[in-house]
Amino acid sequence: MDRTETSAAADLPPCGGDARQGRGGSSRSDKDDQSVHPTLAVRGLETQFHIGQSVYRASNGVDLTIRPGECLGLVGESGSGKSVTAMSIMGLVPSPPGVIAGGRIGFKGEDLTDASNARIRQLRGGAVSHVFQDPLATLHPLFSVGDQIVEAIRAHQSLSTREADAKARDLLDLVRVPNAAQRMKALPHELSGGLRQRVSIAMALANDPELIIADEPTTALDVTVQAEVLRLLDGLRRDRNTAVLFITHDFGVVSEIADRVAVMYAGRIVETGPTAEILTRPAHPYTRMLIDCVPVMGEPGRRLDAVPGRPPAVNRLPAGCAFADRCPRVESDCRRGEIPLEEKRGNLEARCLHPLEAGEALSGDVRTAATTSDGTPRHGRSA
Ligand SMILES: Nc1ncnc2c1ncn2[C@@H]1O[C@H](COP(=O)(O)OP(=O)(O)OP(=O)(O)O)[C@@H](O)[C@H]1O
């Protein structure tokens, strides 16, 4: 059966609500040709964990679109559902207790939701690859990095060992590992953290992926190495026209690499739009508060805000806006019912009834709204 012809995802709209423009709203070829299927089109993804009587809604109606050569930054606090969304795309949700209870995952127009395990395995490490935060979790401690890259190549391409070996060396050169031929023989623990991450990027590139899912790939690295690895990833995806889903909790990193941003909170996308627009004129108070947490160079005296309180547990989501208990702009209507992700202005969409105007700051001390009079968060994680 040809899934690309018959699947429901073949009918996915080529451009979803969050697929708009490139960095700073600049035009891209994808904008000019909206008829081409995006590399990734996630629609209404519902990934749940059923534990005892509880249902944890980790991805709760998530929509994402990424076009060739585009980088989407998926941002949110710990536990907001970023990794579960990524694992769902890669077919890696542990089941049980996990289940994809709804929605569709389209890869270049092919519906992966009902794809066979064999098809998902064929894609994973091939056309869809991933880079994780900790390369030691990806790399086998007892095999040389060269052997591991060769194995990754041969799992998807019929090359001789000699050919795969040469390709592995080229990949290490490409990700700028010095003395690649020598380093092929190194065990993972013999390399620095930055070099190990370059090796895992080389492995991710081994089979010319069309989509790379990078889950906090620079979080464990020190800042200079982090900047180098970001530049490397950015250059590679531009040269190779690779779509990238870049997961992070750090808006500083997002500003370096993402064309567009999707902000996740308690399993939902709460705001999405071009990076420059989101960074300078966000509509959702949560996005504003997350951005205010980023240290700014040259402002040593500036108070660093934290977002007070905690997100609600995803097995006990409140009616209405899940951010209401922490939001300085909350009104009674925020707690009444489902709030849709709607266009607020320009290319910005937010799930908010009382959005910020362009460039508006949050007035007053946000702590007054999000904490009780003694400073206790109004909403603690209860599960
Ligand atoms: N294996 C699991 N079993 C049960 N619940 C899970 C499991 N994995 C994730 N969850 C639930 O999904 C929620 C989202 O987790 P996820 O790892 O996607 O968050 P995240 O945004 O990636 O956080 P972090 O930045 O800390 O990695 C968690 O809060 C938890 O409730």
- Ligand 1: residue whose CA is nearest its atom 26: 78
Atom of ligand 1 nearest to the CA of 267: 14
Q: How far is CA 11 from CA 15, 66, 72, 105, 354, in A?
A: 11, 16, 22, 12, 34
Kindly state the tokens that stand for 252: 């500083």
Cα 267 to ligand 1 centroid, rounded to whole Å: 9
Residue nearest atom 28 in ligand 1 by C-alpha distance = 79
- What is the pTM for the complete model shown? 0.83
Q: Which of 42, 59, 62, 80 to mutate to test the pocket of ligand 1 (most atoms within 8 A of CB)?
A: 80
Protein residues whose CB sits closer than 6 Å to any atom of ligand 1 = 49, 51, 56, 58, 76, 78-84, 94, 97, 249, 314
Please answer whether residues 115 and 88 qualify as being in contact, where contact means their C-beta atoms are separated by less than 8 angstroms: no
pLDDT digits (tens, 9 = 90+) for 332-350: 999 999 999 999 988 899 9
CA–CA dist 171, 206 (Å, integer): 7
Quick one: tokens of 264?
A: 């996740």
The atom number, within ligand 1, closest to the CA of 81 reads: 18
Q: Which residue among 42, 45, 49, 130 is best mutated to probe the pocket of ligand 1, counting the most ligand atoms within 8 A of its Cβ? A: 49
Q: Which atom of ligand 1 is nearest to the CA of 264?
A: 21
d(CA 245, CA 217): 11
| Rounded Cα–Cα distance for residues 45 and 82 (Å) | 12
CB 270 within 8 A of CB 286: yes
The pLDDT value given to residue 358: 80
Q: Which two tokens stand for residue 29?
A: 């070829």
Q: Compare 358 and 128 and report the one with higher pLDDT.
A: 128
Banded pLDDT at 373 (limits 50, 70, 90): very low
ipTM greater than cut 0.95: yes
| pLDDT, tens digit, 9 for 90 and up, residues 13-35 | 333 333 223 333 333 344 445 55
